[in-house]
Amino acid sequence: MSEFSNVTVVKEANIFFDGGVTSRTIIFSSGSKKTLGIMMPGEYVFNTAGAELMEILSGDLEVQIAGIDSWKPVKGGESFEVPASSSFRMKVKTVTDYCCSFLA
């Protein structure tokens, strides 16, 4: 089990798509943020402000990043990056645990 220590956790969850995607915001001493979240099976589209790194802790999905036709399979232990001011579509196949880092 890996951990983030000396952090602040926002108590209330971020809830999207009627609970299909939920997450907790983690704030580091540097001021940077990550979210630790769960995606239930389903299809979701998210927009990005800054670039994001999506680290899949466990689960199984396919992702299509805006401007790219192909779908990329991603599973636990793998990750994908989404540019700033972009969007990404996901087909989540199994309950998926993720960590999202906001890169800029």
CB of 95 to a second copy, least distance (A): 4
Nearer to a second copy, 7 or 84 (CB): 7
Least Å distance, CB 53 to a second copy, is: 14
- Taking the least distance from each CB to a second copy, the nearer of 32 and 58 is 58
Give the contacts of 46 (CB within 8 A, at least 6 positions apart): 82, 87, 88, 90
8 A C-beta contact, residue 95 and residue 39: yes
Of 12 and 69, which has the nearer Cβ to a second copy? 12
- String of DSSP letters for 82-93: E-TT-EEEEEEE
Site for a second copy, rule CB under 8 A: 1-13, 15, 18-19, 22, 24, 26-27, 36, 38, 40, 57-58, 95, 97, 99
Nearer to a second copy, 36 or 103 (CB): 36
Please name the residues in contact with 86: beta carbons below 8 A apart, sequence gap of 6 or more. Answer: 47, 48, 65, 66, 67
> How near is the Cβ of 71 to a second copy at its closest, in Å?
22
Distance separating alpha carbons of residues 63 and 67, to the nearest angstrom:
12
